[in-house]
């Protein structure tokens, strides 16, 4: 397979993961990098032995040797650059979240044409545990689904000592707070393991900002987005999607993902813990007995979270197929994110017409 010649725009922390992963992705070759900070650009280009370096996205996009671009940038500046790249005929891999709004995703869909656009919120769907969960749900052994739930609550730790990035809890710079940063992973994961069959209709949510006593060293000055969000989403067929995400919280960390049906349920861990395990446990309740549990997957877990999105993207470009999380799937995640923010802002339930998934 001819490698997809790729440029990476933005050389921050997440770009370093993309660059290391690209070394293990045979279908992709990074030929150029761009960043507005000259020192970051120089250091990155030298470390990864990349000859072409640009201090602006435009010249990299115009480079005829570049087939595709990875946008390792905050969502607040990403849409315009993505549209520019698509109009120049480049395939695009978007960091998460997909965008700052559904309106921005629609701009990308309009500009995409026959090009490939992938979304990195797919990261945890490549774990073997996600595959087993998806196959178990598809088999029908759980019966009709009732509740699909994600709970990812992280205890407040001491300040890191480094200034918090201003984009992390900013609606303008990155489309939101913990919902944009981690809730998109939760939604992508749960929608994937349930086969994208959920059709969300009504969203009721609440969000809270970082408490004043915990904000120093954790939230940049002027942060206006949430560090804690809870949402209840009613879907077709009486299925409920429940999501609670938070960081810098006054509690002990509590993480669990669960899919409950009439006949059985799955207990999951989207993110491997300290044991590097992401177990899948199937609980069933036979008519003549109590609940019986069976472990379907247990550690260790292969570290593919950063490798697989970029490898899958390169393969999708070469094979002419959609990536694991396509722009249409990204739009559905963005619809839910927008509705969660609107409901949290107004206090009212928000109706949505879910994006059709090809």
pLDDT for 275: 56
Q: Long-range pairs for 233-238 at CB < 8 Å and ≥24 separation? A: 233/200, 233/202, 233/203, 233/204, 233/336, 234/200, 234/201, 234/202, 235/198, 235/199, 235/200, 235/201, 236/198, 236/199, 236/201, 237/144, 237/145, 237/199, 238/146
Other Cβ atoms within 10 Å of 5 Cβ, number: 16
Other Cβ atoms within 10 Å of 27 Cβ, number: 20
pLDDT for 163: 87
From residue 65, alpha-carbon distances to 1, 4, 83, 103, 138 in Å are 17, 10, 19, 31, 42
CA separation for the pair 325, 131 (Å, rounded): 14
Q: Name the percent of the chain in helix, strand, coil, to the closest 5.
A: 35, 25, 40
- Cβ burial, residue 218 (10 Å; 0-12/13-18/19+): buried
pLDDT for 271: 86
Q: Which two tokens stand for residue 357?
A: 């998934």
83-123: per-residue pLDDT in tens? 999 999 999 999 999 999 999 999 999 999 999 999 999 99
pLDDT for 142: 97
pLDDT for 42: 97
CA separation for the pair 47, 40 (Å, rounded): 11
| Domains assigned to the chain | 4-123+306-325 (3.40.50.720), 127-302+334-351 (3.30.360.10)
CA separation for the pair 127, 209 (Å, rounded): 31
From residue 347, alpha-carbon distances to 187, 204, 207 in Å are 21, 8, 10
SS3 337: helix
pLDDT for 303: 75
* Tokens 């429940």 -> residue: 242
Ranges of residues in the chain with a pLDDT under 50 are none
* Tokens 């997909």 -> residue: 98
pTM assigned to the model: 0.96
CA separation for the pair 123, 269 (Å, rounded): 14
């Amino acid at each position: 397979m001819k490698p997809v010649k790729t440029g990476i725009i933005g050389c921050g922390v997440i770009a370093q993961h993309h660059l290391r992963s690209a070394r293990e992705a045979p279908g992709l070759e990074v030929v150029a990098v761009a960043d507005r900070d000259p020192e970051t650009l120089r250091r990155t280009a030298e470390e990864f032995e990349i000859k072409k370096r640009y201090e602006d996205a435009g010249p990299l996009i115009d480079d005829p040797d570049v087939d595709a671009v990875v946008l390792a940038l905050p969502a607040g500046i990403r849409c315009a650059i993505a549209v520019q790249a698509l109009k120049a005929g480049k395939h695009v891999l978007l960091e998460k979240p997909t965008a700052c709004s559904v309106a921005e995703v629609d701009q990308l869909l309009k500009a995409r044409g026959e090009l490939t656009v992938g979304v990195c919120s797919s990261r945890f769907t490549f774990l073997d545990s996600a595959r087993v969960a998806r196959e178990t749900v598809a088999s029908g052994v759980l019966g009709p689904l009732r509740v699909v739930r994600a709970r990812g609550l992280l205890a407040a730790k001491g300040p890191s000592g480094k200034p918090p990035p201003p984009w992390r809890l900013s609606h303008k710079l990155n489309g939101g707070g913990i919902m944009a940063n981690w809730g998109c992973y939760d939604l992508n994961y749960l929608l994937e393991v349930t086969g994208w069959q959920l059709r969300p209709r009504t969203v009721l949510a609440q969000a809270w900002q970082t408490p004043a006593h915990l904000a120093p060293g954790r939230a940049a000055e002027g942060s206006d987005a949430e560090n804690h969000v809870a949402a209840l989403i009613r879907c077709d067929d009486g299925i409920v999607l429940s999501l609670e995400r938070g960081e810098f919280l006054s509690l002990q960390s509590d993480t669990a993902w669960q899919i409950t049906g009439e006949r059985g349920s799955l207990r999951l861990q989207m993110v491997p813990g300290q044991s590097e395990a992401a177990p899948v446990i199937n609980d069933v309740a036979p008519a003549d007995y109590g609940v019986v549990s069976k472990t379907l997957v247990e550690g260790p877990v292969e570290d593919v979270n950063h490798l697989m999105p970029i490898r899958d993207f390169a393969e999708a470009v070469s094979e002419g197929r959609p990536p694991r999380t396509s722009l249409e799937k990204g739009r559905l995640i963005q619809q839910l994110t927008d509705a969660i923010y609107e409901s949290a802002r107004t206090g009212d339930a928000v109706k949505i017409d879910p994006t059709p998934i090809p």
